[in-house]
Amino acid sequence: MVLAAGLGTRMKSRQPKVQHELCGRPMLAFVLDAALEVSGRRPLVVYSPATAGLTEVFADRADFALQPEPLGTADAVRAAIAAAPESVDEILVLSGDVPLVQTDLLAELIDIRRARNAAVALLAVHSAEPEGLGRVIRSEDGGQVLRIVEDKDATPEELEIEEINAGVYAFDAAWLRGRIGDVKPSPVSGEFYLPELVTLAREDRRPVVSLEVEDDGTLAGINDRSQLAAAELELRMIVNERHMLAGVTMIDPVRTYVDVSVELAPDVVLEPGVVLRGSTKIGEGTRIGAGSQIIDTVIGRDCFIWASVLESSEVEDEVQVGPFSHIRAGSSIGRKARLGNFAEVKASRLDPGVQQHHFSYIGDAELGERTNVGAGTITCNYDGVRKHKTKIGKRVFLGSDTMLVAPIELGDGARTGAGSVVTRDVPAGMLAVGVPARLRKPRAEAAPGDAPAATALPAAGSGQAPVEEANERTL
Ligand code: UD1
Ligand code: CA
């Protein structure tokens, strides 16, 4: 049973608390995973009208029980217990806001409850920062757990106690069914506290056992955004450690932000400030330079991505991007392509060897192999109403500041002059110059039988207009 009906007021959020993310995954998802792994059963999530959104988001992974009003953790269990099948003789209760709880600890907790046939087994944490949490009150000899006192109900002496209740319990189900209705509200807060069951178990002379652990950060409950950040840091170090041991270099792992879902090959290098999100995968030997953000993007081997943003795209091997480029959703960048500074690509395919070096926009386009995009080139893909496609062949040379007014097609080996505004298709091997551009045969190809593809191209990346263009201008 996973408690997730609380309002989470301390988060000061529109969103249910347990839907806030740690390294790209909602807190509740971690708890559901742990619950399923340790019990082999579909978890039962307790929700309230305020957290009803959860029933949709997690519909495929849990069953749900409604707590009509969040009157406290004991009330949550009382509201949900009827939904637990009669055949269940043991109930593990987890808090939706304790997301990093480790399954081996849960398994151990279950074992110690069974061994003593205890009514309640709980996880007790030695914590140097017990503020805000329930304190474990023990017998003089320290052996017995007598009761749990909530922070807001505690006396100054009780507040000194540095052993806290983690909010994770294993119960004898039959006993719990019989007693959950007997919890009285706290005279201080009016809430029904689940840890009150410790007191009831002692009244019934049933054993209460505790599994005592040191505070390693994984049992910290998340009530506010500061605790959210602390838990994320904890998880970040776990995730990054795993990648480093698998062969990934991180210059500064504390400042490297990798979602739990990301896959990294050996010899990937991540510089400081890199953010890798969602379904991102990065191939062997690729270096991601400082400040890059990569979202749901698959990148091949031996690439260098530098201070750039890539979203929902694919990048083949040996590509260089940046600094300061933006590859937007639906793009595919071919092998050995070069992009940036300041290149923007949207929903386009760039074939291998394309060069797009300086401040340019390519949208809804296809660019053939080894085409060169001159500085300042723009696909004018939007006419204010609709988006149109641009199709560019192989080894095309686009002069600096070319405007390609889509829909438009440029054949293999075509060229455009600097500053041209191309409004009509350019056949293979032809040159387009001027505003609006007019077609010319490049001089180099004037000789009969000279194939367009045989035309020597200026050095890639220069973004300079071909010589012919200058001649046209003077004419
Ligand atoms: C709780 C424990 C405290 C423990 C701490 C550990 C109680 C009374 N106190 O305090 O001893 O040290 O966790 O993190 O249990 N919830 C419901 N319905 C409700 C109220 C809460 O489902 O009516 C859910 C919340 O959504 C949350 C969990 O129960 O996931 C814990 O509730 P929360 O209010 O965060 O309890 P704490 O004050 O942290
Ligand atoms: Ca809490």
pLDDT at 65 over 70: yes
Given this chain, do its domains 2-214 and 235-470 carry the same CATH topology? no
Among protein residues, the one with the nearest Cα to ligand 1's atom 34 is 6
Task: Determine the pLDDT at residue 143.
Answer: 86
Q: How would residue 445 be classed by pLDDT, with cut points 50, 70 and 90?
A: low
Domain ranges of the chain: 2-214, 235-470
* Predicted confidence (pLDDT) per residue in 266-313, tens digit: 999 999 999 999 999 999 999 999 999 999 999 999 999 999 999 999
Residue-averaged pLDDT of the chain = 93
pLDDT at 50 over 90: yes
pLDDT at 238 over 80: yes
CATH 2.160.10.10 correct for 235-470:
yes
More confident residue, 451 or 203: 203
- What tokens appear for 15 in the block? 């969103």
Q: Is the CB of 417 under 6 A from ligand 1?
A: no
Span from the CA of 221 to the centroid of ligand 1 (angstroms):
9
pLDDT at 413 over 90: yes
pLDDT at 464 over 80: no
42-51, 381-390, 444-453: range with lowest mean pLDDT: 444-453
pLDDT at 450 over 50: no
Task: Determine the pLDDT at residue 120.
Answer: 98
Nearest ligand to the CA atom of 97? 1
Task: Determine the pLDDT at residue 447.
Answer: 43
Q: Is the CB of 71 under 6 A from ligand 1?
A: yes
Among protein residues, the one with the nearest Cα to ligand 1's atom 29 is 3
Which of 13, 19, 73, 151 is the best mutation target for the ligand 1 pocket, counting ligand atoms within 8 Å of the beta carbon and taking the most?
73
* Predicted confidence (pLDDT) per residue in 330-362, tens digit: 999 999 999 999 999 999 999 999 999 999 999
* Predicted confidence (pLDDT) per residue in 128-165, tens digit: 889 999 999 999 998 899 999 999 999 999 999 999 99
Is the four-CA dihedral 450, 453, 458, 464 of positive or negative sign? positive
Which of 46, 69, 95 is the best mutation target for the ligand 1 pocket, counting ligand atoms within 8 Å of the beta carbon and taking the most?
95
**Topology of domain 2-214, CATH:** Spore Coat Polysaccharide Biosynthesis Protein SpsA; Chain A (3.90.550)
Q: Is 358 a catalytic residue?
A: yes
More confident residue, 272 or 446: 272
More confident residue, 465 or 407: 407
